[in-house]
Amino acid sequence: MPQLSTLLALMMIMIMLSTAAPAAPIAVEIVRGADGYELLRGGQPYEIRGAGMVHDDLAAFAARGGNSIRTWTTRSDELDLPGLLDQAHALGVSVALNLPMVPERHGFDYDDEEAVAEQLEAMRRDVLNYRDHPALLFWIIGNELNHSYRNPRVWDAVNDVARMIGTLDPHHPSTTAIAGMREEVVREVLARAPELDFLSFQAYGTLFGLPDTLDRLGFDQPFMVTEWGTIGWWEMESTTWGAPVELTSSEKADVFLRGYREVLDPLRAQLIGSYAFFWGQKQERTPTWFGLLTPEGAQTEAVDVLEYMWTGERPERTAPRVDALQLDGRSARDNVIVLSGQSYPAHFVVRQDDRENLSYHWDVKPESDATEVGGDYETYIPGLDGAITSAPGPHASVRIDERGAYRLFARVDDGDGRAGHANVPFLVEDGFVQSPDHRVAGEVMAVAYSGFRSGQHPDRGDGAVNPSREEILEDLNILVEHGFRLIRVYDAGANSQAVLELIREQDLPIQVMLGLWLRAELSNHEGCPWLDEPIPEDELAANRIENEREIERGIELARAFEDVVVSVNVGNEALVDWTDHLVPLTRVIDFVRQVRGSISQSVTVAENYEWWIREGAPLAAELDFIGVHTYPVWEERDIDEGLSYTVENLMAVRQALPDVPMAVLEAGWATTASEFGDRASEAAQARYFREIERWAQLSNTTIFFFSAFDEPWKGDPDDPLGAEKHWGLFFEDRSPKSIMRRD
């Protein structure tokens, strides 16, 4: 129900509109006094208490202390502009009219003299139509014409319009609204459009840098801020998948108050007016980002701040204060990822005070895929039926059955025309939920460890050059410091034995998946791209003997270090059709049976996901769990597809082997790669790590991220940028990469 004050105001408007005689224009000018610049209207000082508005409730705006609005067009089928001007005048509200010059980004060519002349003539008609209305305050020529522009002749056209206004309407000054305050743009406008009476700037997060910008420019002229408000979606941090994080309605109110106290009020000597954005509601990335009102017309907490700014008095009744919105215990800044087909709790935290009639409203919408800029029109996004599966209240349950990017919205209404809101962007991925018991050693994120530094390498047939015990201990301490409690090593040689000994001796909180390296027992020169000729039979025979010894060494280590070794992996990519160390499947199964019969720990085998799908069933039946490798970046996927492609691989394995527990024994992202260039980066690695970690938590799947440290011994020695060398979470010198830095 409308407030009583609003009803009374509407009645007064009807009376005044029915009896008012035609009025004359009210002259507006800018003067300079002892204390700075001042706006005069009708010869009297005029302090703008403004907001941007299209056609929303003027009476409610005036009741809150507002006295001036700005528009964005003089021509719209949805806008009764004469009626709006009449209503504004009746309420004592002035109007800054925006003449709709077409920005270059909309395809207008400011080198086309005929088109420019036609546009000038259209605006001349607008000026003649509205110049005498007593509600008119000033003219805004175009809105953010500098947004994505290249042709400076747009400012020549602005100057022509300003000159025309000065000739036809001496009572009202003109300005143009510039997006931001880039020095080169300001200087160009000043040089090309001297007929403007003042400049106007539009700033959101950059508002807080405005005083420094003015000082840097040496700008001492009068100006307005014709749009300001919350932090823009282009200025906020984003989720890893690119969804901008929106402030809650209460956080926005705090930004408004800071903007007024820290920027606008201290600049009074030059600032001759400002307009908050936006008294109304609009879809721009979300339906709540910039609107001071909800779609139903309820006023948010930022309106309370504006009333305080405009009147000096705080309202007796304020909008509900929003403290937090969480989905599955995580906030908007936490990169919320959930699994399709699963239900997750949501909690909307609102300060109750003495309110008894709060009502809650929940909605889920697909994430916007809009690419528009500069406030251009965006299509409204409807909510999803059935996504909220619990009764209304401060708690809800959310379930989405299809993967994709979404956003959860929550609103609270106080029953008196005031509201608060928040939203959380979230990503829905496919997946499965294993028993928590299927996590290896109870861990989610583990790491593959190879401690070989420059000049060192494992024994692959020509002897090993192992790191020292001091170097290994340094590595282990680094991993402990960064939260890793489970590592994977790849063989049962002296280097791995040293790792196990140091963990026990130093009482380090690390457990180990012990690898048993299997050498080639078959020559795969026809399948392996880097084997140029057959492996000699005598070498294959020696490898068969060495593999048997490796199995025996692994069993001995697993028994001797039962307190450290939690699982044993038999072979690493020894079965895939492209490997250079191919071993017959029957032989691997025999080795697995031998190991399982000799130790108490769990046993697995590490293979590429495709092999498990096509041929893995006989081996999977012999294991405690299967170990899967997946590398989307090697398969020409960019980081936007990284998690989804990984999950597709794992889901396919799950479908092929539905009853077998799974761990991911290798998944990672290179930070440098001559093979796939820009797809490799620290930023991509960091994103992949965070996203796969969250998915692993939800699915109870252990992920061994590959790898702990860069490995210079791998790959082509003549290509220092080769990907094989650059999968580490740490550089070869042990300095952390982006995901491991604690800035």
pLDDT digits (tens, 9 = 90+) for 46-58: 999 999 998 768 9
Structure tokens at 97: 């009219």
- Rounded-to-10 torsion of CA 612, 617, 619, 621: 130
Cis peptide before 278 (omega within 30 of 0): yes
What was the pLDDT predicted at 235?
97
Helix (H, G, I), strand (E, B) or coil at 431: coil
Asked if pLDDT for residue 16 goes beyond 50, the answer is no
Mean pLDDT of 222-239: 98
- Indicate whether 29 belongs to any domain: no
CA distances from 472 to 148, 303, 475, 478, 506 (A): 54, 61, 5, 10, 12
Q: How far apart are CA 66 and CA 75, in angstroms?
A: 24
Q: How far apart are CA 455 and CA 295, in angstroms?
A: 66
Whether residue 561 is found in the same domain as residue 659: yes
Residues composing the chain:
743
pLDDT band (50, 70, 90) for residue 130: very high
- What stretches of 63-207 adopt beta strand conformation (E)? 68-70, 94-99, 136-143, 174-179, 199-202
Mean pLDDT of 292-311: 96
For the sheet containing 336-339, what is the strand order? 336-339, 419-429, 404-413, 359-366
Angle CA 552–558–559, to nearest 5: 90
Whether residue 397 is found in the same domain as residue 448: no
Structure tokens at 292: 């001071």
Q: What is the pLDDT of residues 244-258, one digit of tens each?
A: 999 999 999 999 999
Q: Which residues pair with 44 in a beta bridge?
A: 41
Q: How far apart are CA 484 and CA 150, in angstroms?
A: 51
Structure tokens at 61: 């705006």
Asked if pLDDT for residue 137 goes beyond 50, the answer is yes
CA distances from 378 to 114, 461, 631 (A): 30, 63, 37
Terminus-to-terminus CA distance in the chain, angstroms? 51
CA distances from 693 to 91, 338, 392, 697 (A): 58, 12, 32, 6
Instruction: Specify the CATH number for the domain of residue 93.
Output: 3.20.20.80
pLDDT band (50, 70, 90) for residue 7: very low
Q: How far apart are CA 695 and CA 241, in angstroms?
A: 14
Whether residue 340 is found in the same domain as residue 315: no
Q: What is the pLDDT of residues 677-705, one digit of tens each?
A: 999 999 999 999 999 999 999 999 999 99
Question: Domain tally for the chain?
Answer: 3
Alpha-helical runs (H) found in 670-735 = 682-699
Asked if pLDDT for residue 713 goes beyond 50, the answer is yes
Q: How far apart are CA 241 and CA 427, in angstroms?
A: 8
Name, in order, each residue with C-beta under 8 angstroms of 703's C-beta and a sequence gap of 6 or more: 444, 445, 446, 663, 664, 667, 692, 693, 696
Mean pLDDT of 351-366: 87
Q: Which residues pair with 411 in a beta bridge?
A: 361, 421
Structure tokens at 657: 């082997």
What was the pLDDT predicted at 78?
82
Whether residue 266 is found in the same domain as residue 329: no
Whether residue 151 is found in the same domain as residue 277: yes
Asked if residues 66 and 93 have their Cβ atoms less than 8 Å apart, the reply is yes
* Domain boundary, last residue among 414, 429, 444: 429
248-270 residues labelled b (16+ CB within 10 A) or e (exposed) = bbbbbbebbbebbeebbeebeee
Angle between helices 81-90 and 4-19 (to 10 degrees): 110
Q: What is the pLDDT of residues 160-201, one digit of tens each?
A: 999 999 999 999 999 999 999 899 999 999 999 999 999 999
* Domain boundary, last residue among 272, 287, 320: 320
Q: How far apart are CA 543 and CA 522, in angstroms?
A: 10
608 phi/psi in degrees, rounded to 5: -60, 145
Angle CA 452–677–490, to nearest 5: 25
What was the pLDDT predicted at 136?
98
Q: How far apart are CA 136 and CA 82, in angstroms?
A: 11
Q: How far apart are CA 540 and CA 104, in angstroms?
A: 70
Asked if residues 491 and 449 have their Cβ atoms less than 8 Å apart, the reply is no
Asked if residues 135 and 85 have their Cβ atoms less than 8 Å apart, the reply is yes
What was the pLDDT predicted at 352?
72
Whether residue 444 is found in the same domain as residue 417: no
Instruction: Write the secondary structure of 598-622 as one string of H (helix), E (strand) and C (coil).
Output: CCCCEEEEEEEHHHHHHHCHHHHCC
- Indicate whether 4 belongs to any domain: no
Asked if pLDDT for residue 522 goes beyond 90, the answer is yes
56 versus 326: which is more confidently predicted? 326
Whether residue 246 is found in the same domain as residue 328: no
Asked if pLDDT for residue 39 goes beyond 60, the answer is yes
Asked if pLDDT for residue 457 goes beyond 90, the answer is yes
Whether residue 253 is found in the same domain as residue 395: no
Asked if residues 484 and 446 have their Cβ atoms less than 8 Å apart, the reply is yes
Q: What is the pLDDT of residues 607-646, one digit of tens each?
A: 999 999 999 999 999 999 999 999 999 999 999 999 999 9
Query: Beta 36-41 vs 602-608: how paired, if at all?
Result: unpaired
Q: Out of 325-334, 354-363, 522-531, which region has the weakest mean confidence (pLDDT)?
A: 354-363
Angle between helices 585-596 and 537-560 (to 10 degrees): 20
Q: How far apart are CA 103 and CA 121, in angstroms?
A: 17
Whole-number average pLDDT of the chain: 94
Q: How far apart are CA 183 and CA 149, in angstroms?
A: 15
- Indicate whether 228 belongs to any domain: yes
Angle CA 645–647–649, to nearest 5: 70
Say which residue the tokens 């001759």 belong to: 272
Q: How far apart are CA 458 and CA 319, in angstroms?
A: 66
Picking from 161, 178, 190, the residue whose alpha carbon sits closest to that of residue 99 is 161
Alpha-helical runs (H) found in 283-428 = 301-311
- Indicate whether 99 belongs to any domain: yes
Q: What is the pLDDT of residues 385-395, one digit of tens each?
A: 999 998 779 99
Q: Is the dihedral of CA 660, 666, 669, 673 positive or negative?
A: negative
Whether residue 138 is found in the same domain as residue 208: yes
Determine the longest span between alpha carbons in the chain, in angstroms: 111
Asked if pLDDT for residue 15 goes beyond 90, the answer is no
Helix (H, G, I), strand (E, B) or coil at 76: coil
Whether residue 588 is found in the same domain as residue 569: yes
For the sheet containing 322-327, what is the strand order? 322-327, 343-350, 395-399
- Indicate whether 38 belongs to any domain: no
| Model pTM score | 0.90
Whether residue 419 is found in the same domain as residue 301: no
Amino acid at position 521, single letter: E
What was the pLDDT predicted at 463?
86
- Indicate whether 509 belongs to any domain: yes
To the nearest whole percent, how much of the chain has pLDDT over 90?
Answer: 92
What was the pLDDT predicted at 356?
75
pLDDT band (50, 70, 90) for residue 11: very low
* Domain boundary, last residue among 276, 293, 320: 320
Asked if pLDDT for residue 339 goes beyond 80, the answer is yes
Whether residue 458 is found in the same domain as residue 417: no
- Indicate whether 224 belongs to any domain: yes
Q: How far apart are CA 136 and CA 138, in angstroms?
A: 6
- Indicate whether 22 belongs to any domain: no
Structure tokens at 444: 């989610």
Domain that holds residue 694: 436-740
Within 10 angstroms of residue 16's Cβ, the number of other Cβ atoms is 14
